[in-house]
Structure 1
Amino acid sequence: MSLHVIVGAGAVGTATARLLRDQGCDVRVITRSGSGPEGVEKVATDAADAERLTALTRGAQTLYNCANPPYHRWATDWPPVAAALLGAAERTGAVLVTLNNLYGYGPVDAPMTEDTPLAATGLKGRIRNRMWADMLAAHEAGRARVTEARASDFFGPGPVGTSHLGEYFMPRLLAGKRPWIIQGDLDAPHSWTYVPDVARTLVALAADERAWGRAWHVPTDRPVPLRTIAAQAARLAGVPAGEILVLPHWALRAMGLAVPFIREFEEVRHQFTRPFVLDSAAAQEAFGLAPTPFEEGLAAHVEFWQRRQRAAA
């Protein structure tokens, strides 16, 4: 059986590990804590340790980068981790498949495709663009085989945590209270990417050499405004549909003075104050992938949070 190494056990890392496990693959999940789903090998190590990561990747068909350092530590944590991942891919021959977001495009005025310029003005977007440039250079020089999957905000079954549809939104909505979001226009069209679709895309890109040497957008259904989502989620949960509380911009800035994580949202505020739409036609056409219908994904998202709420009671 083929070996696949996954760095990170968040929502996507866990979903990818389970998908590969269920396909009969050998899966090794690497995290600082040694966490991961049942039925896979779990290893506790620092992904920035290049020698250790290389040793753990030897013999693997694919190395998946599903890591996600704390928001406010990207500038210090991402460079050594990214270098270690690329170095491991170069030394072992494993295909490096990286999960990325849309920060690299910066503010946009039209739906984003893979040809949209990487014109990020913020630090986090520039960091991710540098990582991709380094990977692409290694690929073009014949030192590594790489590809990247770019997704919008996560939703679906799994610990999406600080997503706009995560910790700050669902528990209050399910309790019949006003859900709140950190920032945004409640009626602006916004793309949401379903976590199981991300896992399926990562695995597809790893297995198809046509995917290597370029980035792809994860198949994502039509954009849906936050106000619509709140109403649909409340109906699915059987609770009153309360008005969403939007944190004023001045309050966001004030909170950021004391909370580093909150402070980082200022850079990506544009994603929720205007239409933010992902075009994933390229991956859908190339690999025969289709996004999960939004309503189906939202039902799974609500069900996950209901189970989590019951377990915490």
Structure 2
Amino acid sequence: MTFHLVVGYGPAGAATARLLAGQGHEVRVVTRSGRPAEPGIEHLALDAANPERLTEAARGAAAVYNCAAPPLHRWATEWPPLASALCAAAEATGAVLVLLGNLYGYGPVDRPLTEDLPLAATGPKGRVRAAIWDQARTLHETGRIRAVEVRASDFFGPGVTDGGHLAARVVPPILAGKTVSVLGDPDAPHSWTYLPDVAAALVELAGDERAWGRAWHVPTAPARSAREMVAGLAAEAKTTPIAVRQLPPAMLRLAGLFSPLLRELREVRYQFDRPFVMDASAYESVFALRATPVEEQFRATVEWWRDRSQRLTATALKKV
């Protein structure tokens, strides 16, 4: 049994912490607000952008997993101090730094995305993501830390609610047999990374020194369009057929006046207006993890959302 520190407790942080705890490891989770302890998981409230406090929390850890991220509209100001604190904690403690990344840093590319592509994004969020890895990689190459970045496409699966394009805005209408609205072209092929596979990749690469010093793409099922994903979920939920329509650009612009998230998504809108396909063959040529079969993804996702709906309904009834 070893000690691991997980920063952030959103969908990816929670899945990673629970996977580690299930493997028998000692797990500490850092968030701003903290949470009650869970079996095998200690929760600690602190600001992870404070390098001294984060270093103290990471003492003795085999690995530090960063699964935290500021709100999109605050990336430019809040990511740099958080990234610096993570690197400082890794250097002071000797823990392997495992960064959960995404695909923003590549920018628009007219081919499947592979890890050897340059981080050539010109938008502010893409530049921030590229800078985070550049900082960690430089420290790794100079021998000051051991670091790896694990990049995923849009999250999909149990536990993915806010921020997932196939999440709260899409799955509940599917379960109710209603029309679904999606961003961009509903027929453009798109890579959707299954959340449990994200956690499994983070843990696998943290413990294998062959992975350190570079970025890897999480094994992901073959790209499917939003329409195909909706059809698969609807078939599992037995609510087919479901109509799928594209959210009108004018509506998105109007909504962006009131929603910081939608306003910030304009920078990466290209990911949904044309094919956006991630290639994880490099990972699969070296390591053991493979993408969960998509039928299993659909089954687990529908079950999770149905259970969540039942729990929310039961809670509401208790308050009546």
Q: TM-score, with normalisation over the residues of structure 1? A: 0.97
CA–CA distance in 1 between the matches of 2:210 and 2:168? 38
Letter in 2 for 1:312: L
Identity %: 55
Question: Which residue pairs with 2:121 in the alignment?
Answer: 120
Contact 1:152 1:193 in 2 (8 A): yes
Contact 1:29 1:36 in 2 (8 A): no
CA–CA distance in 1 between the matches of 2:47 and 2:132? 18
SS where residue 286 of structure 1 aligns? Answer: coil
Question: Which residue pairs with 1:130 in the alignment?
Answer: 131
Question: Which residue pairs with 2:317 in the alignment?
Answer: none
CA–CA distance in 2 between the matches of 1:298 and 1:99? 23
Instruction: Give the deviation of 1:12 after TM superposition.
Output: 1.0
Unaligned segments of structure 2, at least 5 residues: 314-320
Letter in 1 for 2:80: P
Instruction: Give the deviation of 1:242 after TM superposition.
Output: 2.4
Unaligned segments of structure 1, at least 5 residues: none
Once the two structures are superposed, residues 154-207 of structure 1 have per-residue CA deviations (whole angstroms, 9 ceiling, x without a partner) of 1111134221111111111212211222x2111111111111111111111111
Instruction: Give the deviation of 1:217 after TM superposition.
Output: 0.4
Question: Which residue pairs with 1:165 in the alignment?
Answer: 166
CA–CA distance in 2 between the matches of 1:94 and 1:72? 30
> Which structure 1 residue ranges, 4+ long, deviate > 3 Å from structure 2?
none
CA separation of 1:96 and 1:143: change in aligned 2, threshold 3 A:
same
Instruction: Give the deviation of 1:36 after TM superposition.
Output: 7.3
Instruction: Give the deviation of 1:119 after TM superposition.
Output: 1.1
Question: Which residue pairs with 1:247 in the alignment?
Answer: 247
Letter in 2 for 1:102: L
Question: Which residue pairs with 1:76 in the alignment?
Answer: 77
Question: Which residue pairs with 2:12 in the alignment?
Answer: 12
Q: Which moved more, 1:194-203 or 1:35-44?
A: 35-44
SS where residue 235 of structure 1 aligns? Answer: helix
Alignment partner of 1:294 is 2:287? no
Instruction: Give the deviation of 1:245 after TM superposition.
Output: 3.1
Alignment partner of 1:2 is 2:10? no
Instruction: Give the deviation of 1:132 after TM superposition.
Output: 0.5
Contact 2:5 2:27 in 1 (8 A): yes
CA–CA distance in 1 between the matches of 2:15 and 2:37? 9
Instruction: Give the deviation of 1:220 after TM superposition.
Output: 0.6
Q: Which moved more, 1:84-93 or 1:33-42?
A: 33-42
Letter in 2 for 1:93: G
Question: Which residue pairs with 1:54 in the alignment?
Answer: 55
Q: Which moved more, 1:32-41 or 1:16-25?
A: 32-41
Question: Which residue pairs with 1:179 in the alignment?
Answer: 180
SS where residue 148 of structure 2 aligns? Answer: strand
SS where residue 286 of structure 2 aligns? Answer: helix
CA separation of 1:99 and 1:36: change in aligned 2, threshold 3 A:
farther
Provide the alpha-carbon RMSD of the alignment. Answer: 1.2
CA–CA distance in 2 between the matches of 1:109 and 1:160? 29
CA–CA distance in 2 between the matches of 1:198 and 1:242? 28
SS where residue 163 of structure 2 aligns? Answer: coil
Contact 1:9 1:36 in 2 (8 A): no
CA–CA distance in 1 between the matches of 2:243 and 2:126? 32
CA–CA distance in 2 between the matches of 1:99 and 1:36? 24
Q: Which moved more, 1:45-54 or 1:153-162?
A: 153-162
Residue pairs, 1:249-264, within 5 angstroms: 249-264=249-264
SS where residue 60 of structure 2 aligns? Answer: coil
SS where residue 193 of structure 2 aligns? Answer: strand
Instruction: Give the deviation of 1:240 after TM superposition.
Output: 3.8
CA separation of 1:37 and 1:291: change in aligned 2, threshold 3 A:
farther
Instruction: Give the deviation of 1:241 after TM superposition.
Output: 2.5
